[in-house]
Amino acid sequence: MLDTCTDRLDALLHHFPVRARLFHSGSLCGVTRFDTPESGGQLHLVQHGELTVEHPGQATLHIGEPSLLFYPRPLARRFISDPQTGATLACAQLQFDGGADNPLAGALPNVVCVPLQDIPGTQAILELLFTEAFNHYCGREALLDRLFEAVFIQLLRYLMETGAIRGGMLAGMSHPRLRRALVAMHEQPQQDWTLDALAASCGMSRSVFANSFRDTVGCTPGAYLQGWRISLAQQMLRRGQALKLIADAVGYGSEAALSRAFKAHSGLTPRAWKLAQHKAATATDSLPAAGSGQLAPSSAISNHIT
């Protein structure tokens, strides 16, 4: 049986790292519109001031205390603050390795809003982050990028420890027993996992485990394992690894077996999928560059006072 202290995030962040890049620090006054960026997520840290956040077709958020606002996927929105006093924020673009296929990004809700004081262990990080964000020390941006990444990991811990996510992989990672099976699959995808072995790792009977897993995660253990293996295979294909080595690493005995599972999961063979990825990347590279400005083009942000 796996130790209950096994790191739930280690394998996920190792295979699918997340990188932050600062794109704004300072005041936003009046109405600030965030158009939908092409990819990735955005993390906003509200240090001071009141903020109303409007999303098309979703509930409006009213923020009146220092808070974290996180978007794992592109989502258009408007920030509304006092035209004179405004609100003070530090904001970063997050790039999830694997893009839309990143399992962490896919497991998170469209919007996460949490008061900063509710996230344990962040006080020292946030104090340093805000000090760096609103000053001009050398190495500032490189340090801020790493601090935003640390805050993101603290957020993931908070979501798992509080059971704030209902359904999906992170809900399973919050479960005191099911998380052992998920970590086992994440860390040892090449293992010939059976339902009995996974149930035993959780200290549960086969039937109780299967039912609990399906009710909590939203799919069967077998379907989850296949999805995780194919996600890893896609990452390895992006990095140019040979198909035979990938098949061995993710638990398929041959290239043919991997190709069958890959096509069943994604609708394409590994080679056809890799070609489609290459064409999509080439098409993106050929688009005209966005205009330069004080804020990063990827933020797609505009500000005006009404």
Does residue 246 sit within a domain? yes
Please say which residue of 133, 162, 191 terminates a domain: 162
For residue 130, report the phi and psi dihedrals to the nearest 5 degrees.
Answer: -70, -35
Does residue 292 sit within a domain? no
Does residue 293 sit within a domain? no
Task: Verify that 61 and 146 share a domain, yes or no.
Answer: yes
Does residue 215 sit within a domain? yes
Q: Which helix (H) or strand (E) holds 275?
A: helix 270-285
Task: Verify that 148 and 19 share a domain, yes or no.
Answer: yes
Task: Verify that 151 and 38 share a domain, yes or no.
Answer: yes
Domain count, the chain: 2
Task: Verify that 157 and 200 share a domain, yes or no.
Answer: no
pLDDT in tens, 38-97: 678 999 999 999 999 999 888 899 999 999 999 999 999 999 999 999 999 999 999 999
Nearest to 42 by CA among 79, 94, 77, 80: 94
Q: Domain range for residue 184? A: 168-284
Task: Verify that 94 and 172 share a domain, yes or no.
Answer: no
Task: Verify that 105 and 181 share a domain, yes or no.
Answer: no
Task: Verify that 158 and 224 share a domain, yes or no.
Answer: no
pTM to 2 decimals?
A: 0.88
Euclidean distance between CA atoms 49 and 63, whole angstroms: 8
Helix (H, G, I), strand (E, B) or coil at 265: helix
Euclidean distance between CA atoms 54 and 78, whole angstroms: 5
* Residue entry with tokens 């294909």: 237
Strands 51-54 vs 61-63: parallel, antiparallel or unpaired:
antiparallel
Pull the structure tokens for residue 154. Answer: 């603290």
State residue 37's pLDDT score: 60
Task: Verify that 156 and 51 share a domain, yes or no.
Answer: yes
Task: Verify that 154 and 207 share a domain, yes or no.
Answer: no
Task: Verify that 226 and 266 share a domain, yes or no.
Answer: yes
Please say which residue of 162, 184, 217 terminates a domain: 162
Does residue 60 sit within a domain? yes
For the chain, what percent of residues have pLDDT higher than 70? Answer: 90
State residue 284's pLDDT score: 59
CB proximity list for 262: less than 8 A, separation 6 or greater: 230, 233, 268, 269, 270, 273
CATH number at residue 86: 2.60.120.280
CB 33 within 8 A of CB 306: no
Task: Verify that 221 and 153 share a domain, yes or no.
Answer: no
CATH number at residue 237: 1.10.10.60
The whole-chain average pLDDT of the chain stands at 89
Task: Verify that 158 and 173 share a domain, yes or no.
Answer: no
pLDDT in tens, 130-157: 999 999 999 999 999 999 999 999 999 9
